[in-house]
């Protein structure tokens, strides 16, 4: 007789189960949406939080790191909205269309909702409640994944953005999704957004998170049709747990560029599930992380080349100081029919402290025979020869280190196409360096 052994639930897992039981009947959406939630929660309930025995979460043992789960955030009051009014300051005075979410809830009064041809903006909570056909078609269906972080988001998803960009449209300004913490009490938010970019459209999307002390699980489903051009930038800051999932399906002859910038964030897991579903697409997936103290940032990629003649470049850089821990896990999968794939992945870690740790794990899984693919990883300290050279020119030791770090991280930031975003992130990196002491 075989007896199934199930591990004892941790306090965080118990709290998440209790949150779902209490909120199930009032979460937006009925029918198919409710069934989608129930199925996702059953998967979480059966497996629990991911831990080190789950290969994809080996270096970010969420079961051990997440000691408790905060209560679900309540709709923000006037005071919370006032506190969140000026969020997203990393980008300074960049001219963009701001869509503000406070504690995971859309705040129309803080958002720029001026009509623009070819652009439709809405709330995910409203769309789920009303059975919006766009949401019914795509939510939970963009990318198939068994990831528990995504499952938990699906079970408890509350609000987020629903954006549709019509065929051939090109919004005049970048669209900036601002997710801010307004409550002075720690809470948890499960944010779900959907962006559908129709054939031939072009758009720049920015997603920024300053979650304060709150726990955030956010997922963005991005559906890009043929011949689209998308520039996507994600900026993450926060002093609590942040789990983010990008689920993107990209069509043929498209251009897809993404950049993830993380600094002053205590515990972050940025995971990307990206599928190139049409031929002739070119993609650049990049990122930069600045870590200090006991900060932990995990970047995990699963890039699937499912069509021929596609090109992708993945480049990530991490600077680690103090006792920080940086993780990079990147896998490129080339399907049998994806001939003529050209894919290259590189991750580099710069260790400024003997106590810092970098775990880099790039992988290739190739089922086609006519491809050009490669990957690499490096981890090391500042070059003492270069530092000595600068000091011999009269530059102070700390300033010499700052120049070398700036050059290391700036090489990646300079690849951002939008000049305003590029300049703002370079300034943010310089501020981080200035606070290093």
Q: Note the pLDDT tens digit of each residue in 210-255.
A: 988 899 999 999 999 999 999 999 999 988 899 999 999 999 999 9
The whole-angstrom separation of Cα 203 and Cα 138 is: 19
Q: Give domain status of residue 290, yes or no.
A: no
Q: Give domain status of residue 332, yes or no.
A: no
Q: Let me know whether 272 and 392 are in one domain.
A: no
Q: Let me know whether 117 and 258 are in one domain.
A: yes
Domain termination site, one of 256, 278, 300 = 278
Q: Give domain status of residue 164, yes or no.
A: yes
**Cα separations in angstroms, 366 against 41, 120, 308, 330, 421:** 33, 39, 13, 14, 35
Residue that the structure tokens 């993107």 belong to: 248
Q: State the CB neighbour count (10 A cutoff) for residue 39.
A: 13
Closest C-alpha to 309, from 366, 247, 371, 258: 371
Is residue 376 classed exposed, middle or buried when 0-12, 13-18 and 19+ CB atoms within 10 A define those classes?
Answer: exposed
Domain termination site, one of 238, 255, 278 = 278
SS3 at position 240:
strand
Q: Let me know whether 274 and 405 are in one domain.
A: no
Q: Let me know whether 31 and 172 are in one domain.
A: yes
The whole-angstrom separation of Cα 370 and Cα 119 is: 40
pLDDT over 90 at 435, yes or no: no
Contact 311, 278 (CB under 8 A): no
Q: State the CB neighbour count (10 A cutoff) for residue 397.
A: 11
The whole-angstrom separation of Cα 396 and Cα 301 is: 39
pLDDT over 50 at 83, yes or no: yes
Domain termination site, one of 228, 248, 278 = 278
Please give the pLDDT value at position 347.
97
Q: Let me know whether 274 and 401 are in one domain.
A: no
pTM over 0.85: yes
Residue that the structure tokens 């709709």 belong to: 75
Q: Let me know whether 53 and 196 are in one domain.
A: yes
Q: Let me know whether 34 and 181 are in one domain.
A: yes
**Residue ranges making up the domain that contains 65:** 11-278
Q: Let me know whether 117 and 231 are in one domain.
A: yes
Q: Give domain status of residue 434, yes or no.
A: yes
Q: Let me know whether 100 and 249 are in one domain.
A: yes
pLDDT over 50 at 1, yes or no: no
Determine what percent of the chain is predicted with pLDDT higher than 90. Answer: 90
Domain count, the chain: 2
Contact 240, 212 (CB under 8 A): yes
pLDDT over 60 at 3, yes or no: no
- Model pLDDT for residues 280-337, shown as the tens digit of each residue: 999 999 999 999 999 999 999 999 999 999 999 999 999 999 999 999 999 999 999 9
Q: Give domain status of residue 77, yes or no.
A: yes
HSE-up of 296 (CA within 13 Å, CB side)? 12
Q: Let me know whether 272 and 391 are in one domain.
A: no
Chain-centroid distance of CA 296 in Å reads 15
> pLDDT band for position 437 (50/70/90)?
low
């Amino acid at each position: 007789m075989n007896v199934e052994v199930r591990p004892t639930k941790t306090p965080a897992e118990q709290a998440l189960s209790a949150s779902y039981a209490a909120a199930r009947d009032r979460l937006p959406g009925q029918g198919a949406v409710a069934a989608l939630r129930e199925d996702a929660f059953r998967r979480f309930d059966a497996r629990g939080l991911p831990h080190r025995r789950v290969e994809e979460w080996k270096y970010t043992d969420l079961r051990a790191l997440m000691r408790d789960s905060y209560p679900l955030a309540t709709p923000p009051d006037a005071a919370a909205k006032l506190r969140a009014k000026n969020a997203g300051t990393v980008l300074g005075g960049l001219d963009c269309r701001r869509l503000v979410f406070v504690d995971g809830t859309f705040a129309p009064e803080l958002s720029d909702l001026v009509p623009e041809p070819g652009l439709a903006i809405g709330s995910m909570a409203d769309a789920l409640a009303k059975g919006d056909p766009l949401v019914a078609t795509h939510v939970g269906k963009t990318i198939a994944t068994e990831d528990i972080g995504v499952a938990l988001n699906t079970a408890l998803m509350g609000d987020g953005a629903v954006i549709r960009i019509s065929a051939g449209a090109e919004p005049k300004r970048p669209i900036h999704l601002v997710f801010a913490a307004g409550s002075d009490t720690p809470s948890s938010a499960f944010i779900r957004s959907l962006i559908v970019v129709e054939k031939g459209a072009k758009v720049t999307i920015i997603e920024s998170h300053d979650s304060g002390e709150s726990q955030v699980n956010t997922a963005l489903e991005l559906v890009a049709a043929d011949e689209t051009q998308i520039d996507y930038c994600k900026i993450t800051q926060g002093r609590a747990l942040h789990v983010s999932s990008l689920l993107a399906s990209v069509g043929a002859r498209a251009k897809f560029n993404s950049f993830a910038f993380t600094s002053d964030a205590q515990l972050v897991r940025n995971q990307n599930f990206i599928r190139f579903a049409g031929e002739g697409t070119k993609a650049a997936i990049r990122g930069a992380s600045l870590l200090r103290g006991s900060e932990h940032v995990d970047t995990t990629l699963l890039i699937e080349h499912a069509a021929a003649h596609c090109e992708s470049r993945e480049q990530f850089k991490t600077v680690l100081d103090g006792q920080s821990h940086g993780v990079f896990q990147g896998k490129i999968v080339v399907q049998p029919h994806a001939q003529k794939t050209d894919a290259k992945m590189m991750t580099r870690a710069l260790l400024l402290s003997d106590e810092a740790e970098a775990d880099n794990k790039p992988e290739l899984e190739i089922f086609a025979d006519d491809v050009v693919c490669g990957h690499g990883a490096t981890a090391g300290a500042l070059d003492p020869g270069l530092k000595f050279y600068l000091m011999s020119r009269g530059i102070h030791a700390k300033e010499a280190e700052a120049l070398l770090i700036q050059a290391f991280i700036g090489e990646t930031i300079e690849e951002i196409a939008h000049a305003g975003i590029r300049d703002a992130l370079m300034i943010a990196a310089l501020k981080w360096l200035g606070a290093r002491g």
